[in-house]
Amino acid sequence: MTTSPIHHTAAPRPGVDSAVQGVLAQLAGEPGALLPILHALQDALGYVPPDSVPAIADALNLSRAEVHGVISYYHHFRSSPPTPHTVQVCRAEACQSMGAEALLAHARQHLGCGLHAQSGDGVFTVEAAYCLGLCASSPAIAVDGQVHARMTPQKFDALVARVAHSREAA
């Protein structure tokens, strides 16, 4: 996942700042607290805002470089807000044996996305995943964290249409 450079000039945003302070108050005392803090922030905000790095570093007595290094090391953490919907297509060996590469190409083409990039309308992101643990029901995908197995291009199109429709209806 791409990460932006560290910014610490952004104007304070009350929602983000209170989320960061709340998470730090709850978790900073845990042994090995950094990953739990980053997960809690991403769960609350959808991403780990780069301007939260100084506060996290301060609370854990780490350098900003160390915190940034951890955020950028792990594929899971995002440094920018996600699109409303994320499609993960597993491309590990078991899914490859059942046509995952063709499914991934279909997903990108259908949604008009580059890999790990947004669709033109900014609604979907297509990501590669490396094993969702559904290897006996390949190929597998996850849409917004919900898993779907024995996927075909036809089922994929129907699923995406349902997701897009539920968004328009909301």
Partner 1 sequence: MSTVTLYVPCDSAALAVGADAVAERIAQEAAARGIDVHIVRNGSRGLFWLEPLVEVATPAGRVAYGPVAPSDVPKLFDAGLVTGGAHALCHGPTGAIPYLARQQRLTFARMGMTDPRSLADYQAYGGFDGLRNAIAMPPEAIVQTLIDSGLRGRGGAAFPAGIKWKTVAGAQAAQKYIVCNADEGDSGTFSDRMTMEGDPFMLIEGMAIAALAVGATQGYVYVRSEYPHAIATLNAAIALAEAGGFLGANVLGSGKAFHLQVRKGAGSYVCGEETALLESLEGKRGIVRAKPPLPALAGLFGQPTVINNVITLASVPIILARGAQFYRDFGVGRSHGTLPFQLAGNILHGGLVETAFGLTLRELLYDYGGGSATGRPIKAVQVGGPLGAYLPESQWDIPLDYEAYAAMGAGIGHGGIVVHDDQADLSQLARYAMEFCALESCGKCTPCRIGSTRGVEVIDKIRANNHKAEQVALLHDLCDTMVHGSLCAMGSMTPIPVTSALKHFPQDFGLAAPDRA
List contacts with partner 1 (CB under 8 A).
31-36, 38-39, 60, 66, 69-70, 73-77, 92-98, 129-138, 140, 145, 147-150
Q: Which is nearer to partner 1, 136 or 169 (CB)?
A: 136
Q: How far is the CB of 166 from partner 1 (least distance, A)?
A: 15
Strand 146-148 to strand 117-118: parallel, antiparallel, or no bridges (unpaired)? unpaired
Question: What would the two tokens of residue 149 be?
Answer: 């197995």
Q: How far is the CB of 65 from partner 1 (least distance, A)?
A: 11
- Cα–Cα distance between 124 and 134 in angstroms, integer? 23
Q: How far is the CB of 150 from partner 1 (least distance, A)?
A: 6
- Cα–Cα distance between 77 and 2 in angstroms, integer? 9
Q: What single string gives the DSSP state of each residue in 96-116?
A: HTTTHHHHHHHHHHHHT--BT
Q: Which is nearer to partner 1, 84 or 99 (CB)?
A: 99
Q: Which is nearer to partner 1, 98 or 164 (CB)?
A: 98
